[in-house]
């Protein structure tokens, strides 16, 4: 029901109007009255009426002055002027300022009710229109948000080219251009059978961890999208490395808290951080590295949970090895230092019962997982073989003494140094094979990264990462540029029509082909055919990469 308020300096008028209408029966609420405009303003603020009936001639503040203020402050309120003055100038002024209706005293109750009903219907219509507009606006905002998330997802997955990303970002008011980029991914899972404790150190650490994670979620400076039900990705961009490191600070703090968190916590949070990249197209490299980083950190976390359960939650039995110390030696140490280093490093394991307790296994396994994660971080091209980890873990199960433990750490160190030596010029032959495969199959419209990966017998994610890192272009960008280059050759040497050439270079959609051609070459197909020349800017487009293979043939 609409609330009605009356403003009139004559008390008899106010009482008559109040008493002559059965308000609730007519669908209204009589919320109050005032003798002048000045007193009415205070009541309007408190009562928030939907309809105001006001006289014109009143002391202190007249009805027109009141109406002007109400229209400015509460434009949705309907105003009905009820006056005994027949001067048309008043009516004209009232209607100009947006008063809903204007009538003369005396007025019959039925006529007043009709005026109120008209005003009520107008309010309902306006509210309905506003609700529709709000719903439409919300729908559009949701569509934009979905489109933004899809673009960020596609960018991290390597499904869009640099130009496509920038153009799509501009349409979504999403500025993607920056000097540096890095991707962070998180996976949050609630362990419902382990409720958060209300007291104790564990609950405080967990409370701080959740608070820090919420801080990252609410940051307006970081672009983010939901990758799955439990996974969230952040794209951090900045103009300086200092800015990037500052933005990464919240996530590094989360990692520190995760290390302090006991395995008995009720919330599991895993975080992975990729490498800093200088090109928009290499964002997906950082994304893949973040996924890998999170994978190894979760393996380490699961190992600690198992250790925690095996020692019945007694941390007094848990020997902590300084993982950073060990990894630093792997980076900087030499074979001549290995024996003395391991003797000192392994001394922390002197009290471990290797025969009757699995604690030693989990301690060394925790260190092993950290070594694998560090190797992935340092040698970004290295595809960590799961079978190597499994072999090492099998060896771990045979450790029964300090001597066995030192021998295992020796093997782990040598394995790391072996990875280090294998990273030099490892991918030359593979990339040459992939490029040759592209040159032979570019005209196949279903040709994909997966096809090329199967050809060289690696995973598609690994090939995507290595290809971008080594060539400076994503696989899709390379394939697209090569197809356009071949199309340019066909335009120059044949009389085929545009749609025929599109089909010959692997595009079934001629309109999409024309759009790509214009975007990459800067000319339409008609303009290019008319010019009949490959100018220097177009030669640079592809010959710097793809044509090197053609020249060698």
Local confidence band at 548 (pLDDT 50, 70, 90 cut-offs)? very low
The pair phi, psi for residue 287, each rounded to 5°, is -65, -50
Average pLDDT of span 209-226:
84
Using CA atoms, how far apart are residues 361 and 395, in angstroms rounded to an integer?
Answer: 10
Global confidence as pTM? 0.50
Please state the domain extents for the chain: 2-128, 158-301, 319-426, 428-552
494-508 tens-digit pLDDT: 889 999 999 999 999
* Cα-based distances in Å from 260 to 138, 263, 266, 539: 42, 9, 14, 56
425-439 tens-digit pLDDT: 567 788 889 999 999
Q: Are 73 and 94 in contact (CB under 8 A)?
A: no
What average pLDDT does the structure give for the chain?
A: 81
Residue located via tokens 């197209």: 281
277-309 tens-digit pLDDT: 888 888 988 998 898 888 888 887 777 767 666
Question: Is domain 428-552 annotated with CATH 1.10.10.60?
Answer: yes
Right CATH number for 2-128 from 3.40.50.720, 3.40.50.2300, 3.40.50.300, 3.30.565.10?
3.40.50.2300
Q: Do domains 158-301 and 428-552 have the same CATH topology?
A: no
pLDDT score at 384: 56
74-129 tens-digit pLDDT: 999 998 888 777 666 666 777 777 788 878 878 888 888 888 999 899 999 988 88
CATH class for the region spanning 158-301: alpha beta
Buried b (16+ CB within 10 A) or exposed e, 92-109: ebbeeeebbbbeeeeeee
- Which of 202, 147, 211, 208 lies closest to 174, judged by CA? 147
**Alpha helices (H) in 74-224, listed in sequence order:** 88-96, 109-157, 162-171, 201-218
**Edge-first strand listing for the sheet containing 267-273:** 223-226, 231-238, 180-190, 267-273
Using CA atoms, how far apart are residues 93 and 453, in angstroms rounded to an integer?
Answer: 78
pLDDT score at 466: 80
358-417 tens-digit pLDDT: 788 888 888 888 888 777 766 655 555 677 888 888 888 888 899 999 999 999 998 888
Using CA atoms, how far apart are residues 370 and 313, in angstroms rounded to an integer?
Answer: 22
pLDDT score at 436: 92
pLDDT score at 308: 65
């Amino acid at each position: 029901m609409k609330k009605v308020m009356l403003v009139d300096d004559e008390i008899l008028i106010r009482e008559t109007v109040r008493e002559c209408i059965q308000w609730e029966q007519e669908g209204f609420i009589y919320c109050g009255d005032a003798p002048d405009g000045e007193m009415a303003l205070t009541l309007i603020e408190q009562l928030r009426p939907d309809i105001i009936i006001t006289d014109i001639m009143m002391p202190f503040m007249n009805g027109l002055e009141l109406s002007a203020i109400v229209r400015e402050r509460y434009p949705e309120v309907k105003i009905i002027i009820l006056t005994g003055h027949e001067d048309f100038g008043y009516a004209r002024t009232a209607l100009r300022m947006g008063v809903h209706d204007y009538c003369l005293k005396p007025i019959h109750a039925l006529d007043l009710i009709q005026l109120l009903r008209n005003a009520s219907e107008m309010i309902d219509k306006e509210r309905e229109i506003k609700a529709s507009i709000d719903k439409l606006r919300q729908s559009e905002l949701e569509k934009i948000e979905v489109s933004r998330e899809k673009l960020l997802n596609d960018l991290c997955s390597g499904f869009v080219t640099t130009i496509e990303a920038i153009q799509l970002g501009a349409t979504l008011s999403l500025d993607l251009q920056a000097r540096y980029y890095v991707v962070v991914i998180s996976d949050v899972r609630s362990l419902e059978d382990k409720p958060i404790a209300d007291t104790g150190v564990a609950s405080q650490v967990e409370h701080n961890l959740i608070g820090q994670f919420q801080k990252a979620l609410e940051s307006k400076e970081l672009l983010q999208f939901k990758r799955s039900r439990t996974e969230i990705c952040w794209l951090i961009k900045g103009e300086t490395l200092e800015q990037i490191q500052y933005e990464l600070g919240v996530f590094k703090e989360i990692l520190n808290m995760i290390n302090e968190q006991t395995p008995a916590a009720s919330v599991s949070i895993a975080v992975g951080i990729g490498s800093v990249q200088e090109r928009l197209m290499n964002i997906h490299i950082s994304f893949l590295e973040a996924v890998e980083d999170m994978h190894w950190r979760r393996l380490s976390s699961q190992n600690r949970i198992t250790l925690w359960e095996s020692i019945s939650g007694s941390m007094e039995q848990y020997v902590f090895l300084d993982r950073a110390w060990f990894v630093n030696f792997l980076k900087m140490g030499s074979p001549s230092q290995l024996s003395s280093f391991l003797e000192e490093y392994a001394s922390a394991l002197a009290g471990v019962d290797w025969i009757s307790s699995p604690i030693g296994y989990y301690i060394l396994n925790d260190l092993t997982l950290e070594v694998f994660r560090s190797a992935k971080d340092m040698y970004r091209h290295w595809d960590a073989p799961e079978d190597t980890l499994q072999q090492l873990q099998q060896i771990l199960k045979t450790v029964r003494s300090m001597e066995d433990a030192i021998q295992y750490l020796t093997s782990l160190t040598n394995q790391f140094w072996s990875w280090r030596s294998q990273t030099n010029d490892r991918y030359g032959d593979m990339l040459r094979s992939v490029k040759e495969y592209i040159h032979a199959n570019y005209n196949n419209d279903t040709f994909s990264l997966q096809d090329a990966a199967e050809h060289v017998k690696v995973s598609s994610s690994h090939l995507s990462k290595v290809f971008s890192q080594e060539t400076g272009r994503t696989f899709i960008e390379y394939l697209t540029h090569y197809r356009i280059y071949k199309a340019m050759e066909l335009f120059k040497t044949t009389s085929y029509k545009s749609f025929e050439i599109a089909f010959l270079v692997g595009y079934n959609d001629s309109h999409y082909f024309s759009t790509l051609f214009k975007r990459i070459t800067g000319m339409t197909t008609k303009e290019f055919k008319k010019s009949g020349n490959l100018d220097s800017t177009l030669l640079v487009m592809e010959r710097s990469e793809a044509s090197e293979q053609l020249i060698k043939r």
